[in-house]
Structure 1
Amino acid sequence: MRCPYCGSLDTQVKDSRPTEDNTAIRRRRVCPDCGGRFTTFERVQLRELMVVKRSGRRVPFDRDKLARSVEIALRKRPVETERVERMLSGLVRQLESLGDTEITSETIGEMVMEGLKQIDDVAYVRFASVYRNFREARDFESLLDELQLGERKAEALAKLKRADRTASESEPE
């Protein structure tokens, strides 16, 4: 592994351990030439995925690029890194299990938005504003209306489930 500090090809692994969700191996490395320390991650890749951009151009799927865009949406938000990592790993597994080697950027964007909606509403709105290319305040208003409608539906569903449970518990046997 090439040292990111001095470019030396001779680095040594000092520690290896699985990540908490067991989807990768985390390796701490040290460069004997410059003494630099860095971390690498080794992940299983089931198939080579290609992203089909809106322009029709095809580019290799880049998990790190996806992670950076999610990190930007989550900047200064109180979300645990581990939770984000689980979301990203799950998303990549979903993409790999779709069966296609070519996936549209729209599919990826929608999946990321769905994942962010579960984690943090503000990050969801941030990501959506870039992904959907918002141009005016009305765009934000309609997205927030969608978000509130979804929350109201979830609350109503939870109330129905509680009512069903209460009714079934009070029924004589």
Structure 2
Amino acid sequence: MKIKEIIVVEGKDDTAKIKQAVEADTIETNGSAVNDRTIALIKHAKLKRGVIIFTDPDYPGQRIRNIISNAVPGCKHAFLTKAEAKAKHDKGIGIEHATVEAIRLALSNVYELYEGEEIGLSKEDLIHFGLIGGPKAKDRRERLGEILQIGYTNGKQLLKRLSMFDISKQQFVDAMEQILQEENDGD
């Protein structure tokens, strides 16, 4: 599988793992202190070939994703779940720990941020499905992020993330029905 866009990752281990999974070029941020030179390189890459931001599913990875998204609008995004990025024998989480299959799947489900029309979802929809303010809210948000391939987000950011990735009300409802069915099957 060859990727046209340049993939932005956090470090050398991520690059090595990406290259095991797909044929692609990468730009490494070398941690969460994304400097002006790196931002300029990402801007140039976006103009020439497009960019996919593919950072670890943890707080520093999300921080890097936000810094780049704000500085270079219009990038595409790929996500792994924490479970897919968890190291087998230690507590580390990162792209470098994911399987080749998980990386290929994430890169085949790339999202482009979209901040245009209203998606028809409201805070009331989130409350109705128990995504905020309930005992299972965090688990449901995590599962929703997995199903929709948009990554995990807290309750305050969920509506914005759904809108940014142009998730339709029907996609949202279908995913929530799946989650509720899984919960019922588990009881």
Q: Same fold (TM over 0.5)?
A: no
**Shorter-chain TM-score range:** under 0.3
Q: Which of 1 and 2 has higher RCO (CA within 8 Å, sep 6+)? A: 2
Q: TM-score, normalised by structure 1?
A: 0.25
Comparing both structures, which one devotes a greater share of its residues to strand? 1
Q: TM-score, normalised by structure 2?
A: 0.24
Which structure has the larger Rg over C-alpha atoms?
1
